[in-house]
Amino acid sequence: MDGLILVDKPQKLTSHDVVLELRRLLKIKKIGHFGTLDPLATGVLILAVGRATRLFPFFSKERKSYTGQIRLGFATETYDSFGRPTSAESQKLPDESEICEAMKKLEGEILQTPPLYSAKKYRGQPSYKLARGKKEVLLKPVKVFVHSFALQKYHPPHLEFEVQCSSGTYIRSIAHDLGQNLGCGAHLTGLKRITSGHFRLSDCLTLDKIKELIQQGRLEGFLIPLESLLPQFPKIILKEMGAVRARNGNWILPEDIQNVLLPERSLLLVFQEEKIFRLFSFEGKFLGLARKEPDQKGLLPFLVLN
């Protein structure tokens, strides 16, 4: 079994909890997730099964978008409502215009320090384990890109927001930094991932629904096959000898190609930037990915799904 499963992750479960549950239900060990969601968060969680796990680099870097809630007034040690307060509650809260101005300052390329209570590695260990053991953790700020951070509703001390950001952005840190900039403290109280790349929350199924489909033997009801993945890249259909070359990681020559199918017009920009091609056998099996090298007539496979 190979492909993707789109899960609407429930609150309180970790991303790894969801992986373990799918491994149990499907009786398959080779399952992983493409982008962690905190226990507090719900929404789009992409799971890869079998050979699809090798496509991690193409999904992990996708832009994400979220809706959520922030509580103004005090910060917490975990930057969310699961942690203990780190200060007394502020009695002075900003008005809506001050919040919007502070949110604007967190847009664009910013340096962000991950929360201490996160899976971010520090000296080979997840920082949350060290933080729980009261050991010193000094996480370095990293560059992330916040495309937009917008206020949706404000009913003091709570606000609702929507954010679009690069992969690797911690929304808990955004909430914490917003509170610091406003001078009143803040922490995240709710979060829902609504998109990851071109996948949307409406594409996802609950764990209960997936379990029901598995019991019915309807794998096609929740598994996105390998052949449907990465549609932004042109599809190369190979002749028999071309497929042999691809499986061995050898150059694909023009005479090895049976047909070329271009992506939709809306996806052509990605193709022009990446110059990556999906390789298929004449029978329709996804063989891997190849790249057009400068000044070369052929294509060189760089990821082969044997």
Give the model confidence (pLDDT) of 28-75 as tens digits: 999 999 988 999 999 999 999 999 999 999 888 889 999 999 999 999
Is 17 a catalytic site residue? no
Mean pLDDT throughout 170-196?
97
Same domain membership, residue 219 and residue 135: no
d(CA 60, CA 302): 18
Which of 2, 38, 177, 256 is flagged as catalytic?
38
Same domain membership, residue 119 and residue 186: yes
Structure letter (DSSP) for residue 252: B
Indicate whether 7 pLDDT > 50. yes
* Nearest C-alpha neighbor of 48 from the set 16, 5, 1: 5
What is the residue-averaged pLDDT of the chain?
A: 91
Mean pLDDT throughout 69-97?
94
Same domain membership, residue 218 and residue 174: no
Tell me, what's the pLDDT at 251? 92
pLDDT > 90 fraction of the chain, expressed in percent and rounded: 75
Give the 3-state secondary structure of 148-211: EEEEEEEECCEEEEEEEECCCCCHHHHHHHHHHHHCCCEEEEEEEEEEECCEEHHHCECHHHHH
Mean pLDDT throughout 210-214?
96
Same domain membership, residue 179 and residue 136: yes
∠ CA 233-239-243, nearest 5°, is 70
With beta carbons less than 8 A apart as the criterion, state whether 222 and 277 touch: no
CATH at residue 74: 3.30.2350.10
Same domain membership, residue 147 and residue 78: yes
Same domain membership, residue 267 and residue 154: no
Same domain membership, residue 175 and residue 90: yes
CATH at residue 285: 2.30.130.10
What's the total number of domains in the chain?
Answer: 3
What residues make up the domain containing 269?
Answer: 230-304
Give the model confidence (pLDDT) of 129-147 as tens digits: 777 877 777 788 999 999 9
Same domain membership, residue 177 and residue 75: yes
Same domain membership, residue 129 and residue 57: no
| Percentages of the chain per state (helix, strand, coil), in multiples of 5 | 30, 35, 35
Same domain membership, residue 214 and residue 254: no
CB atoms within 10 A of CB 36: 15
How big is the chain by its Cα radius of gyration, in Å? 22
Cis peptide before 10, with omega less than 30 degrees from 0? no
* Nearest C-alpha neighbor of 201 from the set 69, 70, 66, 68: 66
Give the model confidence (pLDDT) of 257-281 as tens digits: 998 888 765 454 444 455 899 999 9
Q: Which amino acid is at 73?
A: G
Same domain membership, residue 185 and residue 90: yes
Bridge partner residues of 142 (DSSP): 112
Assigned token pair, 36:
């962690």
With 0-12 CB in 10 A as exposed, 13-18 as middle and 19+ as buried, what is 205?
middle
Mean pLDDT throughout 11-38?
94
Assigned token pair, 128:
């949350």
Same domain membership, residue 124 and residue 68: yes
